[in-house]
Amino acid sequence: MQTLRDAIRTIPDYPKPGIQFRDISTLLGNPRAFRRAVDELVQPYAGARIAKVAGIEARGFILGGAIAHQLSCGFVPIRKKGKLPHQTVSIAYALEYGTDEMEIHVDAVEKGEKVILVDDLIATGGTASAAVRLLQKLGAEVVAACFVIDLPELGGAAKIEALGVPVRTLVAFEGH
């Protein structure tokens, strides 16, 4: 069987020279690899009474929806500011050059609900850390942050773990 690593396309020098972009669209297009990734992300949490899976826009929506389905729980979108139609709570976070904001509906999670955060990749951890803080601000118990890909030398997983949230990743790529 093809490994998950083999199902991920690497695009050199995107979005700028020196970056090795890890593209999961090839994994998503491969039914066996997609199923395996979802199954491996779900497995530790089966039977854990997870209330919601929160996915970070946009690839986290794809993975998170599939994981929520498998866990028979709800799905919560975390989006860039201005994209959600109802009352929201937002958080600003640092980018390489400047800041951005993400938001969640104020009624997306209830205090004490067990939530898993999902996205395709953890790099520097800025976006994922902000998402964890946003969920915690609403009172969620963030049980884990799950990613298909880890870029360990960028330290993002350690930032999430410093917030008291365990990190689960399936594939690590050295270099970025």
Question: What are the chain's domains?
Answer: 48-172 (3.40.50.2020)
Q: Is 96 a catalytic residue?
A: yes
Rg (CA), the chain: 16
Average pLDDT, the chain: 95
| Band of pLDDT at residue 32, cut at 50, 70 and 90 | very high
Read off the tokens for 100: 């951005």
Average pLDDT over residues 126-151: 97
Average pLDDT over residues 7-34: 95
Annotated active-site residue in 32, 57, 79, 96: 96
Average pLDDT over residues 142-158: 97
Q: Minimal CA–CA distance to 9: which of 129, 173, 126?
A: 173
Q: Answer whether residue 176 shows pLDDT above 70.
A: no
Question: DSSP character for 50?
Answer: -
Identify whether 172 is preceded by a cis peptide bond (ω within 30 of 0).
no
For residues 142 and 117, the answer to whether their CB atoms sit within 8 Å is yes
pLDDT at 95: 76
pTM: 0.95
Q: Between the CA of residue 35 and those of 44, 82, 131, 146, what are the distances in Å?
A: 15, 32, 25, 15
Query: Which of 39-43, 58-62, 171-175 has the weakest average pLDDT?
Result: 171-175
pLDDT at 10: 96
- Between 111 and 96, the more confident residue is 111
Annotated active-site residue in 22, 36, 59, 168: 59
| 19, amino acid identity | I
Question: DSSP character for 118?
Answer: E
pLDDT at 127: 95
pLDDT tens across 49-69, in order? Answer: 999 999 999 999 999 999 999
Q: Is 20 helix (H, G, I), strand (E, B) or coil?
A: strand
